[in-house]
Amino acid sequence: MEEPLTSNVRPATDAVLTIRIIKSFPYRNVKNHILRSVDLKATTPSQLLDQVVDIVNTTGAMRPYRNVVYDTVKVYTHAHKTKSMNLVINFDEDERDVLVCKGKNVEKTELLWDLGVENETELSVFNWEAYEEFKRNPEEKW
């Protein structure tokens, strides 16, 4: 008898999301934050971005990440699917995976659930201009 996938056990109204807050692409400054009890059927990408920005601005452990203007939410990976070879961000499918980008005036008004976000999805939050610059020249620095 097969066990159900953990991503399918929780209801969409009580999902767990991993938010990858990216401060710097070249230096790979990424801080993961686990959001629990997210109602995917009542939350838009813009609401999620506002919630993450509020977490960054009010959580003591996020103090080093406060000097970046976070304006984009992009799907990094879905649960139990293939992951990108790039440890910082996936460069594939910007049109599909960017859920909100205030720097580019892209804002999908559908709910997260309707956009394919499920329990245990990893989402990246970052600055769009820094992403475009890194995408043109993806050189990592140490």
pTM, two decimal places: 0.89
**Ordered DSSP codes for 50-94:** HHHHHHHHH-GGGGGGTTS---EEEEEE-TTS---SSSS---S-H
Is 120 within a domain? yes
Is 5 within a domain? no
At residue 8, does pLDDT exceed 70? no
Domain enclosing residue 120, as ranges:
10-136
Number of other CB atoms surrounding residue 1 within 10 Å: 2
Is 1 within a domain? no
Is 4 within a domain? no
Average of per-residue pLDDT values in the chain: 89
Residues, the chain, total?
142
Q: How many domains does the chain have?
A: 1
Q: CATH number for the domain including 86?
A: 3.10.20.90
Task: Pick the more confident residue, 107 or 4.
Answer: 107
Is 141 within a domain? no
Is 25 within a domain? yes
For 16-72, write each residue's pLDDT tens digit. Answer: 999 999 999 999 999 999 999 999 999 999 999 999 999 999 999 999 999 999 999
